[in-house]
Structure 1
Amino acid sequence: MAGREVDGALSLLLTQFIAALYYNERHHDLQKFSPNDKIPELKQDQPPEVDTLDPEQFKAGQLELARDLITKEQQIEYLISTLPGLDNSERDQLQMIRELEEELGAAEQQRQEALRERDEVLKRLDGLVRLIRRH
């Protein structure tokens, strides 16, 4: 079940990454990086490609998105840490499997012994019932 939670959290993290990229792409201010750069003029009926925000508002939005990304990443790390077997090497896991197989074998022997005892008790009980019917 924890694996599904990790998958869901990773999906949300990716969505948050996309939202952060979209926010930065959509709301940055238009600046020239070199004298040769040109900012295209928009036609009257053409929607702007960038909806420039006030610098403080833009930074506040970036900070909020960054905090959300960090929080989600920490949640994913926690979920991953709860997955079984992460602290065990492959050799340790194989050893655990062997030990569990031995325990299973011992439990199966106990079950077979219990079945034999049950059959013996049923035979004796059947003999007693027949003996009582005769009398």
Structure 2
Amino acid sequence: MADRLTQLQEAMDQLLKQFIASYHYIERHHDLEKFGPNDKIPDLKPEQPKEVETVEPEKFKAAQLELARDLVTTEQQIEYLISSLPGLDNSERDQIQMIRDLEEEIATAEQQRLEAVKEKDEVLKKLDSLINMIRRYK
């Protein structure tokens, strides 16, 4: 589950970066237009840096469309990751039963481990006694 949560966090971070990059692109490359009759577009002096570098309207629209598609794609990835998280389709009772089943599996595995340790100890004792017998006959 942590892996899915990590993927979800990374996708959310990516979406945030895409939002910021989209905003920055639109802010830097929009057309200089007046919104009202009293608005003025200031004349820049030659040594003054441009605040906005306008691009052709077709290129700007195409870039906006591409940015929007990227945002939608990332959002769909996030929705998929959220839908694949455990627990969304399971009731609390189902989740509790899954936990009980896993606890039983763990108990069974622990019992098998303890039996294997016991068997190992018995084999080691037999091996030790055989080694001692061999030493006596030398």
Whether TM exceeds 0.5 here: the answer is yes
Structure 1 residue 38, shift from structure 2 partner: 1.8
Runs of 4+, deviation exceeding 6 Å: 109-119
Partner letter of residue 82 of structure 2?
I
> For residues 48 and 108 of structure 1, do their structure 2 counterparts lie closer, same or farther at Cα, with a shift above 3 Å needed?
closer
- Whole-Å separation in 1 of the counterparts to 2:18 and 2:86: 27
Asked whether 1:28 is paired with 2:30, we answer yes
Aligned to 2:103: 101
For residue 46 of structure 1, give the secondary structure of its aligned residue in structure 2. Answer: coil
Distance 2:117 2:54 in 1: 80
CA distance in 1, matches of 2:28, 2:10: 27
The residue that corresponds to 1:68 in the other structure is 70
- Residues 87-112 of structure 1: per-residue CA shift (max 9 Å, x gap): 12334312322343345456666777
Percent identity reads 67
- Deviations, residues 26-81 of structure 1 (Å, cap 9, x unaligned): 11101111112122221221111111111111100000111111111112222222
Instruction: Calculate the TM-score normalised by the size of structure 1.
Output: 0.72
RMSD: 3.1
The equivalent residue for 1:92 is 94
Residue type at the aligned position of 1:10:
M
TM-score (norm 2): 0.70
What amino acid is the match of 1:33?
F
Stretches of structure 1 that go unaligned for 5 or more consecutive residues are: 120-135
Q: Distance in 2 between matches of 1:12 and 1:31?
A: 32
**Which of 6, 9, 17 is 1:7 aligned to?**
9
